[in-house]
Structure 1
Amino acid sequence: MRIKMLATVLAAAVATSLVAAGSAVGQTTAGDSEAAIAITEQASDQILVLASDDAAWSKAQVAWRWRPTAANGFADLVDNWGLPDEAKLRHRGDQAYLLTTDSYGLAAVVPYPQGTGSYWAADVGRPANPHSIELLPNGNVAVVASTGGWLRVYTASQDPRSTTYVQFDLPDAHGVYWDEKRDLLWALGGHDLVALRMTGRPGQPRLTEVRRVALPTPWGHDLQPVSSDDDRLWITTGSQVYQYSYASNTFLQDFPAAGVIQTGVKSVGDERASGQVLASLVQVGNICTWCTDTVSLFESDGSLLLHGAQIYKARWWVDPNAD
């Protein structure tokens, strides 16, 4: 009970202290990176975007924030939000979108920076524990769920609240990424990395497995493209961080930060322009036992601290498929 009360007090304090600084992100810098950072902040149950500099984090200067409310068009889905666990930036045409999931069941594609309405949103099931999401070129949306043990492609191209889907079973599914170069949908499960080919019409999608690779260590968690090398994917497991090479079909640990980022990595990614590697690692002593209040920057041997935060994932606020 005491822990629950502390969590409630902390969430209220964080929500009060995170002062909004406008709807769009500026170009203030941290070291040699101009990209902003998005976090899934579970103390205040919000997606937050901050500039990647010490001042923005130490002063809690939030450039953009989002959570579902009746006012922004999510009256039917507010009960499916409480533990946000994914935030990605993607584009469709000239419109940017926040892609987000929440362990309480929400999966959504939200116009950015408008933050109102949705390209698509649905309750995909709280017991399923959705963990990641991807926007596909035909307008559909892929979602993975860890407890559910599946990847689903929802026919978002047909209706902004479509709950029609095709399912691919993948135990402990945690990550999903659309590989534009190869026209493949990658998905990460607890023990395997799989590549799927999409066929069929947008309203009747089909998935075919074309590659399956066993992970070197168990409990796959995060799946992201390596921005500096389009042959590679970032892969995290319960105990290690790898880069998977499509060409050699191998998991590699030949990148500079390999010896440092290992156990408890919830998210990892590099920023193409600067080469900065960003990661969120489980922090001993955080009231949320799977969270941290600090985002690590490994190429600069630095970090960004947001006091009182419970950060699950941190992402460079960049679309890897954008020109």
Structure 2
Amino acid sequence: MKRRNILRAVAIGAPLAAAGAIGVGVAAADTANFKVIVTEQVSNKVFVFDKDKSFSNANAYKMWSPGTGGWANLSDCRIRDTAQFGAIGLAAASGGKVGIWNITDEREQELNDVLWSATPGGNPHALERIPDLGAFVAASSDGFLTVYAPTKISDPSTLAKVQTVSLAGAHGVVWDPNNKLLWASGNKIVQAYTVSGTYRDIRLKASSKKVTLSGLGHDLQPDFSNKAKLLVSDSYGVYSIDKGTLAKTTLHTTTRIKAYVKMSTGEYFYVRGDNAGSRDWGSPTVVFSESADRTRDGAEFYKARYYTTAYN
């Protein structure tokens, strides 16, 4: 049985439909033929691939190579939209860095395309942007969130650390535009935070909205098939969380899911740590529920995302 069938056998949920695309090949809403953005830790690059083509260098739509050092072991990537720069890439690396880079100017980007970076410490695993405010929040697995705020929203060089918030095992962060909340996953918890203030006075505050997990929370993503839901993986499975009622539904009981995305078409894809290779937390394969799996020889994928600027 193919690995996608392990998840398919216990999948719960019904798809909706959407279509459309904007700017530099970045999708505004998903279709059956879409692009994915992945972190590959052996070459330490972020790649963008068409999911219907092999994940080879020749087929890469975009690639970003920040080098090693603080950028080693890229652990997160996502795309967001800005008024000043258009679409930008967001990244976190277990080597210590988080930052944003200009994805629009060429096919192959490098360290000189970085628009801003910081070193929050504590094994960074995710970075998110709060729209309209121009603030960024990093999650570090050693147990905290770090808030960076600007003095000028259109100028990332003005970003500075303004707050550190304790969250044991912090791994994921995602902005919820419908409820104006920042959600974060940590050790046995998904916690929502309110955001107040502007510029350097921006602050997070833990809200009453939180959901208990069975294990360490890993990936945290919107559900592109339902704006009322979040998707989270922990050590033991993948779950859907209703952002209003906080009801948690088990979607899959497969362990070690490091990245999980569900499209409005109903298709989902994921990366599962395979306990093998140079990085046993990664895998050379991105698994698709309704398309061919994509394996890159010698690779260690950690995160796979839908290549879109949309928050949900």
- TM category (shorter chain) comes to 0.7 to 0.9
Q: Distance in 1 between matches of 2:163 and 2:191?
A: 16
Aligned match of 2:171: 174
Aligned match of 2:61: 63
Instruction: Compute the displacement of 1:144 (Å).
Output: 0.6
Following TM superposition, where does structure 1 have runs of at least 4 consecutive aligned residues deviating by more than 3 angstroms? 24-27, 115-119, 156-159
Aligned with residue 203 of structure 1, among 200, 219, 222: 200
Instruction: Compute the displacement of 1:117 (Å).
Output: 3.7
3-state secondary structure, aligned to 1:160: helix
Q: Distance in 2 between matches of 1:211 and 1:98?
A: 31
Aligned: 1:124 with 2:112: no
Instruction: Compute the displacement of 1:102 (Å).
Output: 0.3
Deviations 1:267-291 (A, max 9, x none): 101223x332010001243332011
Give the TM-score of the pair, scaled to structure 2.
0.82
Matching residue's letter, 1:47: V
Q: Distance in 2 between matches of 1:90 and 1:39?
A: 15
Q: Please say if residues 278 and 296 of structure 1, whose CA atoms lie closer than 8 Å, have aligned partners that are also in contact.
A: yes
Aligned match of 1:249: 246
Q: Distance in 1 between matches of 2:259 and 2:60?
A: 20
- Taking the TM superposition and a 5 Å limit, the aligned residue runs for 1:21-40 are 33-40=32-39
Aligned match of 1:140: 135
Which moves more between the two structures, 215-224 or 174-183? 215-224
Q: Please say if residues 216 and 251 of structure 1, whose CA atoms lie closer than 8 Å, have aligned partners that are also in contact.
A: no
Aligned match of 2:308: 318
Count, aligned residues? 276
Q: Please say if residues 211 and 246 of structure 2, whose CA atoms lie closer than 8 Å, have aligned partners that are also in contact.
A: no
Q: Distance in 2 between matches of 1:225 and 1:169?
A: 23
Aligned: 1:49 with 2:48: yes
Q: Please say if residues 225 and 320 of structure 1, whose CA atoms lie closer than 8 Å, have aligned partners that are also in contact.
A: no
Give the TM-score of the pair, scaled to structure 1.
0.79
Aligned with residue 186 of structure 1, among 176, 183, 186: 183
Aligned match of 1:154: 148
Does 1 or 2 have the higher relative contact order (CA < 8 Å, sep 6+)?
2
Q: Please say if residues 152 and 167 of structure 1, whose CA atoms lie closer than 8 Å, have aligned partners that are also in contact.
A: yes
Q: Distance in 1 between matches of 2:277 and 2:25?
A: 28
Matching residue's letter, 1:293: P
Instruction: Compute the displacement of 1:177 (Å).
Output: 0.6
Q: Distance in 1 between matches of 2:291 and 2:311?
A: 27
Q: Distance in 2 between matches of 1:154 and 1:176?
A: 14
Alignment gaps of 5+ in structure 1: 1-23, 70-77
Instruction: Compute the displacement of 1:163 (Å).
Output: 3.6
Q: Distance in 1 between matches of 2:44 and 2:199?
A: 33
Instruction: Compute the displacement of 1:57 (Å).
Output: 2.1
Deviations 1:285-319 (A, max 9, x none): 33320110111112x16411112111011111112
Aligned match of 2:255: 263
Q: Please say if residues 25 and 51 of structure 1, whose CA atoms lie closer than 8 Å, have aligned partners that are also in contact.
A: no
Instruction: Compute the displacement of 1:212 (Å).
Output: 4.1
Aligned match of 1:304: 294
Q: Please say if residues 227 and 320 of structure 1, whose CA atoms lie closer than 8 Å, have aligned partners that are also in contact.
A: no
3-state secondary structure, aligned to 2:134: coil
3-state secondary structure, aligned to 2:43: coil
Aligned with residue 223 of structure 2, among 221, 226, 231: 226
Q: Please say if residues 174 and 189 of structure 1, whose CA atoms lie closer than 8 Å, have aligned partners that are also in contact.
A: yes
3-state secondary structure, aligned to 2:214: coil
Q: Please say if residues 25 and 49 of structure 1, whose CA atoms lie closer than 8 Å, have aligned partners that are also in contact.
A: no
Q: Distance in 2 between matches of 1:221 and 1:321?
A: 18
Q: Distance in 2 between matches of 1:131 and 1:315?
A: 14
- Taking the TM superposition and a 5 Å limit, the aligned residue runs for 1:92-131 are 92-93=82-83, 95-114=86-105, 115=109, 116-125=112-121, 128-131=122-125
Instruction: Compute the displacement of 1:321 (Å).
Output: 3.1
3-state secondary structure, aligned to 1:56: coil
Instruction: Compute the displacement of 1:35 (Å).
Output: 1.5
Instruction: Compute the displacement of 1:95 (Å).
Output: 0.3
Q: Please say if residues 235 and 242 of structure 1, whose CA atoms lie closer than 8 Å, have aligned partners that are also in contact.
A: yes
With over 3 angstroms needed to count, the CA separation of the structure-2 counterparts of 1:26 and 1:153, relative to structure 1, is: closer
Q: Please say if residues 120 and 146 of structure 2, whose CA atoms lie closer than 8 Å, have aligned partners that are also in contact.
A: no
Instruction: Compute the displacement of 1:60 (Å).
Output: 5.3
